[in-house]
Amino acid sequence: YMNSLLCRGDIHCIDQIRMRPVAFYELCNILTRYNLVRQSRNMSIKEQVLLFVQCLGHNVRFRVLAGSFHRSSETCHRYFRIVLKAVLKQIVVRSPDDSTPPEIMNSRRFYPYFKDCVGAIDGTHVRASIPLEIQGRFHGRKGGTTQNVLAAITFDLKFTYVLAGWEGSAHDSRILNSPLSRSGGFKIPEGKIYLGDAGCGVQPGIISPYRGVRYHLNEFSKERPPENEKELFNLRHSSLQTTIERGFGILKKRFCVLDAEPFWSFATQVDVVLACCVIHNHIMGVDPNDPVVQ
């Protein structure tokens, strides 16, 4: 079964495990090199990782994986947990460096005006399965129960910070102002900034667009160009800020588990979001021309 997925070309491999073989084999190598996953009598390392990424990529239930891998559902669940724990030990979600990103340096639209900007920050909603008695706090603005995920991303589409698990009703500015966010790892390099939308409010190190004038890209056109300095700033700000929206879009396109009804405990749902971001970063580092990104 494993060979049928990995040895039939890049397109088939992406369809099945959401990455090309080069990224899959390197992921296995990393987990092996750091002794994070071990071969057992029941399953090789490659099989364990394959099972894991198939589950994330297609929201496959363990009883279905059991039939594909000829193992019991309990065995598939156990190895899913092993690889999930291993992936979260990888230090892949790193802070950006201090240099000006080439996406800004090489653009007359953005340089030198955004030369100190290292990325964009925003929140997204991921479906959540929540006990009935606390579902009210998790109702997202578009309906249904969700967890709010706050994330920062660089302009080459790598996540530098991810905070998952907030109630769907929580506002982005509330999450940013929380002690967990500020003391739990979201560090902005000295002298650098992130771009945030209006929902971020006024935050140290985060630049939001001007209020009261046009901001969103669809509000501008050749027939309706910026009319003043604030609108020009907002247009360029929005052009860069959409990087985080694109990153979320790629993440959910690659990992269908993020748009499906979860079947784990909430703690595992949070870990799954983090693991998807870690694997996304891994793929972007190993295979930046991955077709899912294009």
Q: Are residues 52 and 116 in the same domain?
A: no
Q: Within this chain, do residues 179 and 235 fall inside the same structural domain, yes or no?
A: yes
Q: Give the total number of structural domains in the chain.
A: 2
Is 157 a member of any domain?
yes
Q: Which domain holds residue 71?
A: 2-87
DSSP per-residue letters across the chain = -HHHHHSS-HHHHHHHHSS-HHHHHHHHHHHHHTTSS---SS--HHHHHHHHHHHHHH---HHHHHHHHTS-HHHHHHHHHHHHHHHTTS--S----SSPPHHHHT-TTTTTTTTTEEEEEEEEEEE----GGGGGGGB-TTSSBEEEEEEEE-TTS-EEEEEEEEETT--HHHHHHSHHHHHTT--PPTT-EEEE-GGG-SBTTEEPPPSSS--SGGG--SSS---SHHHHHHHHHHHHHHHHHHHHHHHHHH-GGGGS---S-HHHHHHHHHHHHHHHHHHHHH-TT-TTT-
Dump pLDDT digits (tens) for 170-212: 888 888 777 555 555 688 888 999 999 988 877 888 999 999 9
Instruction: Give the up-direction half-sphere exposure of residue 49: CA atoms within 13 A in the CB hemisphere.
Output: 25
Each residue's pLDDT expressed in tens, for the chain with a length of 294 residues: 888 888 888 999 999 999 999 999 999 999 999 999 999 998 999 999 999 999 999 999 999 999 999 999 999 999 999 999 999 986 667 778 888 999 999 999 999 999 999 999 999 999 999 999 999 999 888 889 999 999 999 999 999 999 999 999 988 888 877 755 555 568 888 899 999 998 887 788 899 999 999 989 999 999 999 999 999 999 999 999 999 999 999 999 999 999 999 989 999 999 999 999 999 999 999 999 999 998
> 234 with 121, same domain?
yes
Final residue of a structural domain among 87, 111, 135: 87
In this structure, are 47 and 167 located in the same domain?
A: no
pLDDT of amino acid 1: 82
Question: What does the pLDDT read at residue 7?
Answer: 85
- Domain end call among 53, 87, 121: 87
Do 180 and 211 fall into the same domain? yes
Quick check: is 282 in a domain? no
Q: Which of 191, 163, 189, 190 is nearest to 177 (CA)?
A: 163
Picking from 143, 165, 162, 160, the residue whose alpha carbon sits closest to that of residue 151 is 162
Q: Is 125 found in the same domain as 235?
A: yes
